[in-house]
Chain A
Amino acid sequence: MSSDTPKDDKSLIERLRTPATCREAFNEVIRLYSEPLYRTIRRLVQDHEDTNDLLQNTFIKAWSSLENFRGDARLSTWLYKIAINESLSFLARERKRLNLSLDDQESALVNTIEADEYFDGDQAQMLLRKAVASLPEKQSIVFNMKYFDEMKYEEISSILGTSVGALKTSYHLAVKKIENFVEKNQ
């Protein structure tokens, strides 16, 4: 997570667990986390409208299962988990709905990237975006969190439930695949 991303606040969690203040506290959670969660989802599904829907689903799910958040993990960890699960479920549903293989879906995502009106990056950013879209889903999640969000491996580990060693391997493999992709498509 970049230094701009808000950290969990003990008092915020306390207010979430208090009936009288939980709704107001959750509204603050929405304000604090909507942008970082949006970026995480958008980097996976690419399309802004789909991202908007999934972001709403993420917060509704979090609100509906607020009592399940016991406070032993960070609030951000819990929210990121929900957002990533929503994104992966969405991609799986889309594959099923459109009867796509993983390769076909990758091509569809690349097409979405090229037609994306909410992108003002340069050629290099476009190429990197396509390269990341060509990675296996879990690998692209790890790469996005490490490279774009600048999260520590320990933080990513608590979100994905994967060991730090496996994450480091995954990230380095992702970088290698990006290198090959860039070389082929430069």
Chain B
Amino acid sequence: MKEENNILAKVSHRDGLTVPDGYFADFAASMAAKLPDRPELENPAAVLPKRSFWQTVRPYTYMAAMFCGVWCLIKMLSMMAATEQEITFENDPILAEAAANDEIVEEFVIEDISQSDIYETWMENYTDADSAALAELLLPDSLIH
């Protein structure tokens, strides 16, 4: 520390740096000439054009369009979520009413589908005498004859 303190004491805050003669005077003059023009700084009124009506309202128009877009997106997503809901006997009142009605169930579910499916299948696949005899046993008279 003593040597270092001697050094700092010896140097005494002087860096020994020099410059060419007249450097700073010449620098100030040449630097002033090198500064680029800045008309927007030195004469702003002459440079700035008058804003048109559209330029003034444009940012607000874009903002309104943005909010409309967001609203539409939210609306669309909520509609999609509603249609995706599976229709079951529990959440659809019309279906629930139909299922509670025995006549409807008999006519449109049990009798109709099962009878027509069976009849069609037999007609397509079984045409020989044995199949006909079997069909007589299984199917009601109204369908065979």
**Contacting pair B16 A120 (CB below 8 A):** yes
**Contacting pair A63 B36 (CB below 8 A):** yes
Which B residues touch A127, using CB under 8 A? 7
Given contacts A22-B42, A64-B38, A124-B10, contact A34 B16 (CB under 8 A): no
B100, CB-defined interface residue at 8 Å: no
Which A residues touch B36, using CB under 8 A? 60, 63-64
**Contacting pair B15 A121 (CB below 8 A):** yes
**Contacting pair B4 A178 (CB below 8 A):** yes
Interface size on A, residues (CB 8 A): 46
A94, CB-defined interface residue at 8 Å: no
Interface size on B, residues (CB 8 A): 28
Which A residues touch B43, using CB under 8 A? 19
Which A residues touch B10, using CB under 8 A? 124
**Contacting pair B7 A124 (CB below 8 A):** yes
Which B residues touch A56, using CB under 8 A? 31, 34
B 16-46 contacts with A by CB, 8 A: 16-20, 24, 27-28, 31-32, 34-36, 38, 41-44
24 A-B Cβ contacts within 8 A?
A: A22-B42, A23-B35, A26-B35, A34-B31, A35-B24, A38-B24, A39-B15, A48-B19, A60-B34, A64-B38, A67-B41, A119-B16, A120-B16, A121-B15, A121-B16, A125-B16, A129-B16, A148-B13, A150-B13, A178-B7, A182-B7, A183-B3, A183-B4, A186-B3
Q: Which residues of A contact B (CB under 8 A)?
A: 19-20, 22-23, 26-27, 30-31, 34-35, 38-39, 42-43, 48, 52, 55-56, 59-60, 63-64, 66-67, 118-122, 124-129, 131, 147-148, 150, 175-176, 178-179, 182-183, 186
Q: Which residues of B contact A (CB under 8 A)?
A: 1, 3-4, 7-8, 10-11, 13-20, 24, 27-28, 31-32, 34-36, 38, 41-44
10 A-B pairs besides A67-B41, A176-B1 with CB distance below 8 A are A22-B41, A34-B31, A38-B24, A39-B15, A55-B27, A63-B36, A119-B18, A120-B16, A121-B17, A150-B13
